[in-house]
Amino acid sequence: MSGQVTNISPQIPKVQTEDEQVISPWKEAWRTYRKNKVALIGLGIVSFFILLAIFADFIAPYGFKETELANKHIPPSAAHWLGTDEFGRDILSRIIYGARISLWVGFSAVSGSIIVGSFLGILAGYYGKWVDAIISRMFDILLAFPSILLAIAIVAMLGPSLQNALIAIAIINIPTFGRLLRSRVLSVKEEEYITAAKAIGMKDARILFHHVLPNSMAPIIVQGTLAIATAIIEAAALGFLGLGAQPPAPEWGKMLADSKDFIIQAPWTVFFPGISIMLTVLGFNLMGDGLRDALDPRMKN
């Protein structure tokens, strides 16, 4: 008796290749970012200064307040790798502790600018009409003044201190993020999913914070990274003018101001704080350029 033999071969599931797998936009952005060697250098520089700031108490060989007048203006040596200043304070230790101040000012000021500017920008872009008119005119007024002069005016009214310098830097950067979010919201709110959310009766607050804001974060992240570099320069400028951190705080701009009279006698007292500012700003700028390339769809092939 013959019967038909059925071929019962096991079905092997098809394995998706890496290109066929669904990758989240943020993972795709990170993959793109890792391919940018210059951006990785920027990330490395920023990470280096962040680690200095976090572990300053363990890395710095001396306290930033320790003075020894007998050792003033000692050139770089085994005991003081970057030399000493006019009070005999170790410059390396002050630069390490100064990283805390500069990074704290940069991150705090930009965070405040992002929060306030994004809130105002979202309101202006989403509601339009008189709300947009009022907020946009506020931005125009702030942008009408040169940023550093406006910061000086604000600190002059509030009084010279690091906290007031931080407030001033945050205020002058609000219009940048506000106008960026406004333009982004004007585009996003016309998308079909926003129209669908309105059609089912979703409240404006939920639409704004669950749909509009998440889809507007990419340009904010890029601009925020670049703004940190600008904030560090502005903090150093205010410190150089005596309107920022006050002695004995080891703020890099203040260190430059205190050493400007000794640039011929002890050039290392100016060079090393200046190179610290330059490297930190360079790191954030390189990192911001890499984030722009990774997050902006127009920059991808």
Task: State the CATH number of the domain containing residue 232.
Answer: 1.10.3720.10
Write out pLDDT tens, residues 258-285.
888 888 999 999 999 999 999 999 999 9
pLDDT digits (tens, 9 = 90+) for 126-173: 887 888 899 999 999 999 988 889 999 999 999 999 999 999 999 999
In a domain, 1, yes or no: no
Residues 6 or more apart whose CB falls under 8 angstroms from that of 106 comprise: 228, 229, 231, 232, 235, 284
Tens digit of each residue's pLDDT (9 = 90 or more) over 204-221: 778 777 777 777 788 888
Nearest alpha-carbon partner for 165 in 177, 149, 154: 154
CA–CA dist 6, 276 (Å, integer):
76
Q: How many helices (H) and strands (E) does the chain have?
A: 12, 0
Q: Is the pLDDT of residue 67 over 90?
A: no
How many domains in the chain? 1
91 found inside a domain: yes
Instruction: Assign 22 to helix, strand or coil.
Output: coil
Q: Is residue 35 part of a domain?
A: no
What pTM value is reported for the model?
Answer: 0.84
Q: What is the mean pLDDT of residues 185-194?
A: 77
Paired tokens of 147:
């940023």
Task: Report if residue 38 sits inside a domain.
Answer: no
The Cα 105–Cα 101 span in angstroms is 6
Asked, for residue 6, whether it belongs to a domain, the answer is: no
Q: Is residue 161 part of a domain?
A: yes
pLDDT at 271: 93
Which residue segment(s) compose the domain that 149 sits in?
45-61+78-299
Ranges 38-42, 52-56, 207-211: which has the least confidence: 207-211
What would the mean pLDDT of 92-99 be, rounded to a whole number? 94
Domain-located, residue 124: yes
Asked if the model's pLDDT at residue 111 lies above 90, the reply is yes
The per-residue pLDDT of the chain, averaged, comes to: 85
Q: Please report the pLDDT score of residue 55 as a whole number.
A: 94
Place of tokens 């940190």: 228
Assigned domain for 73 exists: no
For residue 22, is pLDDT > 60? no
Q: How far is CA 232 from CA 40, 99, 299, in A?
A: 20, 10, 27
